[in-house]
Amino acid sequence: MDALPARPGDDVPGVVEGQPSRNVGSPVPARLKVRPDFLRAASGGRVHSRSLSLQVYRRRDGDASPETGARVGLTVTKKAGNAVERNRIKRRFREALRAPGLAALPDHDYVIVARRDALAAPFAALLGEVRRCLADAAKGRDAGKGRARGGSGPRRKPGAGRGGEAGSYTPHP
């Protein structure tokens, strides 16, 4: 059997030109696998960037998880592209999570909700966004529950209080 022609990066295992290198031997964080864990993380804090939205949940003593380290889940919706593009996005984030020096806290669950921008972003920029989001989550900076969200309820005039004042909103039965 003839050997295949040499390609750039063949001398280093797992390296393909233009793709991120494999960090052989780097610890891979434990994975979130079941839906309740993903839903629990969605109820926690959030940190946003161009290529991802990071959901963070600190596990309590009563949670049913025997693991003590950080766990990571990855979600890519159909809005991000077709199956091939979604799989490529997931591979890029899995590789970014293998990078050394990430600030993932133990006893925390993280869910990365990937965006389509992750497909075209240079890998170094994607890794920087993952690091920044994890660091912001570790410092407690999030865009979570205290933030007003557009479209989440009826619009009210500025200064209009609750009750029967003029200009307040009263729902129709």
pLDDT, tens digit, 9 for 90 and up, residues 25-46: 556 678 889 999 999 989 989 9
Which runs of consecutive H residues, i.e. helices, occur in the chain?
Answer: 35-42, 83-97, 117-120, 123-138
- SS3 annotation, 22-40: CCCCCCCCEECCCHHHHHH
pLDDT, tens digit, 9 for 90 and up, residues 108-121: 899 999 999 999 99
> What per-residue confidence (pLDDT) applies to 19?
55
Is the model's pLDDT at 7 over the cut of 50? no
Name the residue among 97, 58, 57, 105 with its Cα closest to residue 74.
Answer: 97
> What per-residue confidence (pLDDT) applies to 95?
92
Is the model's pLDDT at 72 over the cut of 80? yes
Beta bridge partners of 56: 45, 110
Number of CB atoms found within 10 A of residue 105's CB:
13
Largest CA distance in the chain: 86
> What per-residue confidence (pLDDT) applies to 60?
82
| Domains defined for the chain, CATH in brackets | 30-138 (3.30.230.10)
Pairing assessment for the beta strands 30-31 and 71-76 based on DSSP bridges: parallel
Residue 73: phi and psi, rounded to 5, are -115, 155
Residue 40: phi and psi, rounded to 5, are -65, -40
> What per-residue confidence (pLDDT) applies to 125?
94
Is the model's pLDDT at 147 over the cut of 80? no
The C-alpha atoms of residue 158 and residue 67 are separated, in whole angstroms, by 48
What is the pTM (predicted TM-score) of this model?
Answer: 0.65
